[in-house]
Amino acid sequence: MDRARRRKFGQNFLNDATAALIASDLLVSTESILEIGPGHGALTQHLLKKNTPLLAVEIDELCVSVLREKFAEFQNFSVVNQNFLDFDLRKFLDVNPKAWITGNLPYNVSTAIVADLMPFLKYSSGFMGMVQLEVAERLCAKPASKAYGSLSVWVQAHAQAQIVRRVGPENFSPKPNVDSATIMLKPLECPLQAPIAFFEWVQIAFSMKRKRIANSLSKHFEKALVFEALASLGLSENTRAEELSPQKLLDLYQALQSKI
Ligand code: SAM
Protein backbone atom coordinates (compact mmCIF):
# COMPACT_ATOMS: atom_id res chain seq x y z
CA MET A 1 0.00 0.00 0.00
CA ASP A 2 1.42 3.40 -0.90
CA ARG A 3 2.93 5.63 1.76
CA ALA A 4 1.12 8.79 0.67
CA ARG A 5 -2.23 7.07 1.18
CA ARG A 6 -1.19 5.84 4.62
CA ARG A 7 -0.10 9.30 5.65
CA LYS A 8 -3.18 11.00 4.19
CA PHE A 9 -5.55 8.71 6.09
CA GLY A 10 -3.42 8.28 9.24
CA GLN A 11 -3.13 4.54 8.67
CA ASN A 12 -1.17 2.66 11.33
CA PHE A 13 -2.55 -0.85 11.55
CA LEU A 14 -2.64 -2.75 14.84
CA ASN A 15 -1.11 -6.16 15.35
CA ASP A 16 -3.49 -8.97 16.23
CA ALA A 17 -2.46 -9.48 19.87
CA THR A 18 -2.96 -5.83 20.75
CA ALA A 19 -6.22 -5.61 18.80
CA ALA A 20 -7.51 -8.62 20.79
CA LEU A 21 -6.53 -6.94 24.08
CA ILE A 22 -8.26 -3.69 23.17
CA ALA A 23 -11.42 -5.50 22.03
CA SER A 24 -11.45 -7.35 25.36
CA ASP A 25 -11.58 -3.99 27.17
CA LEU A 26 -15.00 -3.55 25.59
CA LEU A 27 -16.45 -6.46 27.55
CA VAL A 28 -19.64 -4.65 28.39
CA SER A 29 -22.79 -6.05 26.86
CA THR A 30 -24.21 -3.78 24.21
CA GLU A 31 -26.80 -3.97 21.48
CA SER A 32 -24.62 -2.43 18.81
CA ILE A 33 -21.13 -1.19 18.07
CA LEU A 34 -20.00 1.68 15.86
CA GLU A 35 -16.37 1.41 14.76
CA ILE A 36 -14.54 4.44 13.39
CA GLY A 37 -11.71 3.72 10.93
CA PRO A 38 -11.68 -0.11 10.83
CA GLY A 39 -8.78 -0.22 8.32
CA HIS A 40 -8.22 -3.88 7.44
CA GLY A 41 -10.34 -5.06 10.34
CA ALA A 42 -7.71 -5.81 13.02
CA LEU A 43 -10.02 -4.67 15.80
CA THR A 44 -13.22 -5.48 13.90
CA GLN A 45 -12.55 -9.22 13.75
CA HIS A 46 -12.41 -9.40 17.55
CA LEU A 47 -15.39 -7.10 18.05
CA LEU A 48 -17.50 -9.23 15.69
CA LYS A 49 -17.06 -12.20 18.04
CA LYS A 50 -19.37 -10.38 20.46
CA ASN A 51 -22.22 -11.28 18.06
CA THR A 52 -23.48 -7.73 18.15
CA PRO A 53 -24.40 -5.70 15.05
CA LEU A 54 -21.36 -3.66 14.10
CA LEU A 55 -21.35 -0.72 11.69
CA ALA A 56 -17.92 0.42 10.55
CA VAL A 57 -17.27 3.86 9.04
CA GLU A 58 -14.14 3.94 6.86
CA ILE A 59 -12.95 6.74 4.57
CA ASP A 60 -10.61 4.67 2.39
CA GLU A 61 -12.38 2.74 -0.37
CA LEU A 62 -9.50 0.25 -0.62
CA CYS A 63 -9.95 -0.68 3.05
CA VAL A 64 -13.71 -0.93 2.49
CA SER A 65 -13.16 -3.52 -0.31
CA VAL A 66 -10.84 -5.53 1.94
CA LEU A 67 -13.39 -5.46 4.77
CA ARG A 68 -16.35 -6.44 2.56
CA GLU A 69 -14.46 -9.51 1.37
CA LYS A 70 -12.98 -10.44 4.75
CA PHE A 71 -16.26 -10.25 6.68
CA ALA A 72 -18.67 -11.37 3.93
CA GLU A 73 -19.82 -14.27 6.12
CA PHE A 74 -20.69 -12.09 9.10
CA GLN A 75 -24.38 -11.18 9.25
CA ASN A 76 -23.66 -8.70 12.03
CA PHE A 77 -21.12 -6.67 9.96
CA SER A 78 -21.79 -3.66 7.76
CA VAL A 79 -19.55 -0.88 6.52
CA VAL A 80 -20.05 2.55 5.01
CA ASN A 81 -17.43 4.30 2.92
CA GLN A 82 -17.53 7.76 4.49
CA ASN A 83 -15.53 10.42 6.29
CA PHE A 84 -16.61 10.02 9.92
CA LEU A 85 -16.63 13.80 10.31
CA ASP A 86 -19.60 13.83 7.89
CA PHE A 87 -21.35 10.83 9.46
CA ASP A 88 -24.83 11.47 10.90
CA LEU A 89 -24.14 10.21 14.42
CA ARG A 90 -27.41 11.51 15.86
CA LYS A 91 -29.40 9.51 13.29
CA PHE A 92 -27.34 6.38 13.97
CA LEU A 93 -27.87 6.69 17.73
CA ASP A 94 -31.60 7.28 17.26
CA VAL A 95 -31.81 3.88 15.60
CA ASN A 96 -29.14 2.26 17.81
CA PRO A 97 -29.58 3.78 21.25
CA LYS A 98 -26.79 3.05 23.71
CA ALA A 99 -24.38 1.76 21.07
CA TRP A 100 -20.70 1.62 22.05
CA ILE A 101 -18.43 3.72 19.86
CA THR A 102 -14.91 2.50 19.31
CA GLY A 103 -11.92 2.65 16.98
CA ASN A 104 -8.21 3.04 16.62
CA LEU A 105 -8.57 6.63 15.47
CA PRO A 106 -6.55 8.21 12.66
CA TYR A 107 -4.25 10.54 14.58
CA ASN A 108 -4.53 13.45 12.14
CA VAL A 109 -8.24 13.87 12.99
CA SER A 110 -8.54 12.14 16.37
CA THR A 111 -9.07 15.36 18.34
CA ALA A 112 -11.75 16.55 15.90
CA ILE A 113 -13.51 13.17 16.03
CA VAL A 114 -13.54 13.01 19.84
CA ALA A 115 -14.65 16.65 20.09
CA ASP A 116 -17.49 15.99 17.62
CA LEU A 117 -18.64 12.93 19.59
CA MET A 118 -19.17 14.81 22.84
CA PRO A 119 -22.66 16.36 22.34
CA PHE A 120 -23.96 12.91 21.29
CA LEU A 121 -22.19 10.84 23.93
CA LYS A 122 -25.23 10.86 26.23
CA TYR A 123 -27.22 8.92 23.60
CA SER A 124 -24.53 6.18 23.49
CA SER A 125 -22.99 3.84 26.06
CA GLY A 126 -19.69 5.63 25.57
CA PHE A 127 -16.47 5.65 23.59
CA MET A 128 -13.51 3.33 24.09
CA GLY A 129 -10.73 3.70 21.58
CA MET A 130 -7.19 4.67 20.72
CA VAL A 131 -5.60 8.05 20.24
CA GLN A 132 -2.03 9.24 20.54
CA LEU A 133 -0.83 9.33 24.13
CA GLU A 134 -0.37 13.09 24.23
CA VAL A 135 -4.00 13.59 23.11
CA ALA A 136 -5.22 10.97 25.62
CA GLU A 137 -3.43 12.88 28.39
CA ARG A 138 -5.10 16.15 27.35
CA LEU A 139 -8.56 14.58 27.11
CA CYS A 140 -8.29 12.95 30.55
CA ALA A 141 -6.23 15.61 32.38
CA LYS A 142 -7.40 16.82 35.78
CA PRO A 143 -7.23 20.44 36.97
CA ALA A 144 -3.76 21.59 38.08
CA SER A 145 -2.02 19.09 35.81
CA LYS A 146 0.20 20.15 32.91
CA ALA A 147 -2.04 18.70 30.18
CA TYR A 148 -5.30 20.27 31.47
CA GLY A 149 -6.78 22.77 29.01
CA SER A 150 -9.86 23.78 27.06
CA LEU A 151 -10.09 20.36 25.33
CA SER A 152 -10.12 18.62 28.75
CA VAL A 153 -12.93 20.94 29.84
CA TRP A 154 -14.99 20.25 26.69
CA VAL A 155 -14.61 16.48 27.06
CA GLN A 156 -15.09 16.34 30.82
CA ALA A 157 -18.18 18.52 30.62
CA HIS A 158 -19.73 15.51 28.86
CA ALA A 159 -17.77 12.47 29.95
CA GLN A 160 -15.96 10.70 32.69
CA ALA A 161 -12.60 10.26 30.98
CA GLN A 162 -9.80 7.85 31.77
CA ILE A 163 -6.78 6.27 30.13
CA VAL A 164 -7.21 2.49 29.93
CA ARG A 165 -3.89 1.28 28.51
CA ARG A 166 -0.72 2.63 26.93
CA VAL A 167 0.30 1.13 23.60
CA GLY A 168 3.83 1.45 22.18
CA PRO A 169 4.68 2.08 18.50
CA GLU A 170 5.95 -1.51 18.09
CA ASN A 171 2.33 -2.73 18.09
CA PHE A 172 1.53 -1.01 14.77
CA SER A 173 2.51 -1.33 11.15
CA PRO A 174 3.93 1.02 10.07
CA LYS A 175 5.23 2.17 13.46
CA PRO A 176 4.04 5.68 14.38
CA ASN A 177 6.57 8.12 15.83
CA VAL A 178 4.52 8.55 19.00
CA ASP A 179 3.13 6.48 21.84
CA SER A 180 -0.58 5.75 21.92
CA ALA A 181 -3.20 5.03 24.55
CA THR A 182 -6.74 3.76 24.72
CA ILE A 183 -9.24 5.91 26.54
CA MET A 184 -12.69 5.25 27.98
CA LEU A 185 -15.20 8.11 27.80
CA LYS A 186 -18.41 7.31 29.69
CA PRO A 187 -21.31 9.75 29.40
CA LEU A 188 -21.90 11.73 32.59
CA GLU A 189 -25.30 11.21 34.18
CA CYS A 190 -25.52 14.97 34.52
CA PRO A 191 -23.44 16.64 31.79
CA LEU A 192 -22.41 20.22 32.56
CA GLN A 193 -25.36 22.46 31.65
CA ALA A 194 -23.49 25.13 29.74
CA PRO A 195 -24.11 27.10 26.55
CA ILE A 196 -21.69 26.88 23.62
CA ALA A 197 -20.63 30.47 24.43
CA PHE A 198 -19.18 29.13 27.71
CA PHE A 199 -16.81 26.79 25.83
CA GLU A 200 -15.68 29.66 23.59
CA TRP A 201 -15.03 31.68 26.77
CA VAL A 202 -13.02 28.73 28.16
CA GLN A 203 -10.71 28.95 25.13
CA ILE A 204 -10.08 32.61 25.96
CA ALA A 205 -9.54 31.72 29.62
CA PHE A 206 -6.85 29.17 28.64
CA SER A 207 -5.29 31.34 25.92
CA MET A 208 -2.35 32.34 28.15
CA LYS A 209 -1.47 29.14 29.98
CA ARG A 210 0.31 29.45 33.32
CA LYS A 211 -0.72 33.13 33.45
CA ARG A 212 -3.45 34.54 35.70
CA ILE A 213 -6.93 33.94 34.29
CA ALA A 214 -7.63 37.64 34.86
CA ASN A 215 -4.90 38.49 32.32
CA SER A 216 -6.37 36.25 29.62
CA LEU A 217 -9.94 37.39 30.26
CA SER A 218 -9.04 41.07 30.49
CA LYS A 219 -8.40 41.08 26.72
CA HIS A 220 -12.16 40.71 26.30
CA PHE A 221 -13.65 41.85 29.63
CA GLU A 222 -12.93 44.72 31.99
CA LYS A 223 -10.29 43.54 34.45
CA ALA A 224 -12.07 45.05 37.47
CA LEU A 225 -15.16 42.97 36.63
CA VAL A 226 -13.06 39.83 36.32
CA PHE A 227 -11.56 40.52 39.77
CA GLU A 228 -15.08 41.07 41.15
CA ALA A 229 -16.31 37.80 39.65
CA LEU A 230 -13.31 35.93 41.09
CA ALA A 231 -13.87 37.50 44.52
CA SER A 232 -17.57 36.58 44.47
CA LEU A 233 -16.48 32.93 44.32
CA GLY A 234 -13.78 33.33 46.97
CA LEU A 235 -11.03 32.98 44.33
CA SER A 236 -7.80 34.96 44.44
CA GLU A 237 -6.80 37.46 41.74
CA ASN A 238 -3.86 35.15 41.00
CA THR A 239 -6.05 32.18 40.04
CA ARG A 240 -4.96 30.43 36.84
CA ALA A 241 -7.44 28.77 34.46
CA GLU A 242 -5.76 25.39 34.84
CA GLU A 243 -6.55 25.34 38.58
CA LEU A 244 -10.31 25.41 37.99
CA SER A 245 -12.58 22.40 37.39
CA PRO A 246 -15.15 22.59 34.57
CA GLN A 247 -17.85 23.39 37.16
CA LYS A 248 -15.74 26.16 38.78
CA LEU A 249 -15.03 27.63 35.36
CA LEU A 250 -18.77 27.63 34.66
CA ASP A 251 -19.41 29.35 38.02
CA LEU A 252 -16.86 32.00 37.09
CA TYR A 253 -18.34 32.43 33.60
CA GLN A 254 -21.80 32.93 35.11
CA ALA A 255 -20.51 35.32 37.78
CA LEU A 256 -18.81 37.40 35.09
CA GLN A 257 -21.88 37.32 32.83
CA SER A 258 -24.00 38.66 35.69
CA LYS A 259 -21.70 41.71 35.87
CA ILE A 260 -21.60 42.70 32.20
N1 SAM B 1 -8.61 0.00 12.98
C2 SAM B 1 -7.48 -0.30 12.12
C3 SAM B 1 -6.39 -0.95 12.94
O4 SAM B 1 -6.40 -0.72 14.16
O5 SAM B 1 -5.55 -1.62 12.39
C6 SAM B 1 -6.96 0.95 11.41
C7 SAM B 1 -6.59 2.10 12.30
S8 SAM B 1 -5.79 3.43 11.44
C9 SAM B 1 -4.95 4.21 12.78
C10 SAM B 1 -7.08 4.62 11.15
C11 SAM B 1 -8.12 4.19 10.14
O12 SAM B 1 -9.08 5.25 10.00
C13 SAM B 1 -7.61 3.92 8.73
O14 SAM B 1 -8.19 2.77 8.22
C15 SAM B 1 -8.04 5.15 7.91
O16 SAM B 1 -8.25 4.89 6.54
C17 SAM B 1 -9.33 5.52 8.62
N18 SAM B 1 -9.70 6.94 8.53
C19 SAM B 1 -8.88 8.01 8.42
N20 SAM B 1 -9.57 9.17 8.43
C21 SAM B 1 -10.88 8.81 8.55
C22 SAM B 1 -12.09 9.55 8.61
N23 SAM B 1 -12.09 10.89 8.58
N24 SAM B 1 -13.26 8.87 8.71
C25 SAM B 1 -13.28 7.50 8.75
N26 SAM B 1 -12.14 6.75 8.68
C27 SAM B 1 -10.96 7.40 8.60
Each residue's pLDDT tens digit, 59-116 = 999 999 999 999 999 999 999 999 999 999 999 999 999 999 999 999 999 999 999 9
**191-237: per-residue pLDDT in tens?**
999 999 999 999 999 999 889 999 999 999 999 999 999 999 999 99
Q: How many domains does the chain have?
A: 2
State the Cα–Cα distance between residues 49 and 60, nearest whole angstrom: 24
Exposure string for 78-98, b = 16+ CB within 10 A, e = fewer: ebebeebeebebeebbeebee
Nearest CA to ligand 1 atom 3: 13
**What integer best gives the mean pLDDT of the chain?**
95
Ligand 1 binding site (Cβ under 6 Å of any ligand atom):
9-14, 36-39, 42-43, 57-60, 63, 83-85, 104, 106, 109
Nearest CA to ligand 1 atom 12: 37
What CATH code is carried by the domain that includes residue 24? 3.40.50.150
174 and 47 together in one domain: yes
Q: Of 187, 215, 245, which residue is a domain's last?
A: 187
Domain ranges, residue 209 = 196-257
Residue 5's CB is within 10 A of a number of other CB atoms, namely 12
According to DSSP, the residues that pair with 187 across neighbouring strands are 159
Nearest CA to ligand 1 atom 5: 13
237 and 136 together in one domain: no
14 and 126 together in one domain: yes
Q: Of 187, 209, 230, which residue is a domain's last?
A: 187
What CATH code is carried by the domain that includes residue 201? 1.10.8.100
99 and 204 together in one domain: no
Distance from Cα 10 to the centre of ligand 1, integer Å: 6
Residue 170's CB is within 10 A of a number of other CB atoms, namely 9
Nearest CA to ligand 1 atom 14: 39
84 and 207 together in one domain: no
244 and 149 together in one domain: no
End-to-end CA distance of the chain: 58
pLDDT category at 28 given cuts 50, 70, 90 is: low
State the Cα–Cα distance between residues 19 and 29, nearest whole angstrom: 18
pLDDT at 75: 95
**109-136: per-residue pLDDT in tens?**
999 999 999 999 999 999 999 999 999 9
pLDDT category at 1 given cuts 50, 70, 90 is: low
Amino acid identity for residue 60 in this structure = D
Ligand 1: which of 5, 13, 131, 182 to mutate, most ligand atoms within 8 Å of CB?
13
113 and 46 together in one domain: yes
79 and 143 together in one domain: yes
pLDDT category at 5 given cuts 50, 70, 90 is: confident
73 and 8 together in one domain: yes
10 and 139 together in one domain: yes
Q: Of 165, 187, 209, which residue is a domain's last?
A: 187
257 burial (CB, 10 Å; 0-12 / 13-18 / 19+) is middle
pLDDT category at 159 given cuts 50, 70, 90 is: very high
Distance from Cα 69 to the centre of ligand 1, integer Å: 18
160 and 207 together in one domain: no
177 and 200 together in one domain: no
Q: Does the pLDDT of residue 14 top 70, yes or no?
A: yes
Nearest CA to ligand 1 atom 19: 9
* Angle, alpha carbons 105-51-89 (nearest 5°): 40
